[in-house]
Structure 1
């Protein structure tokens, strides 16, 4: 489990957890620059909110 460096929520990050499957974040658009002060991974909710707030639509979460 990973902990979001933005809000503190626990979530799964395939890359940090050593999973061989692609991480959920690879499905999101890589079109926004993450602030320099952001160290570590953000949870799905924080990353989607950040992308949405900076002009890039985030895809809906998988069913």
Structure 2
């Protein structure tokens, strides 16, 4: 189990469980502004989706 650093919810994380299967998050695009501090953190599915949504350029903005 892992704990989301944003909402503190516990969730299943393939990386934290040292699973031979890739984690569910490997099916999603990476966060665009990943830093060394955030690379080591796992976010729950809901928070990761919100982070991905907020990092997308708005219509008319350049990426």
Residues in 1 aligned to 2:25 and 2:54: alpha-carbon distance in whole angstroms: 17
Q: Which has the higher helix share?
A: 2
The gaps in structure 2 that reach 5 residues or longer are 58-63
Which has the greater radius of gyration?
A: 2
Match of 2:11 in 1: 11
Provide TM-score, normalisation by structure 1.
0.73
Structure 1 consecutive aligned stretches of length 4 or more whose deviation exceeds 2 Å: 34-39
**Contact 2:5–2:42 (CA<8 Å) still a contact in 1?**
yes
The gaps in structure 1 that reach 5 residues or longer are 57-63
RMSD over equivalenced CA pairs, Å = 1.9
- Number of residue equivalences: 56
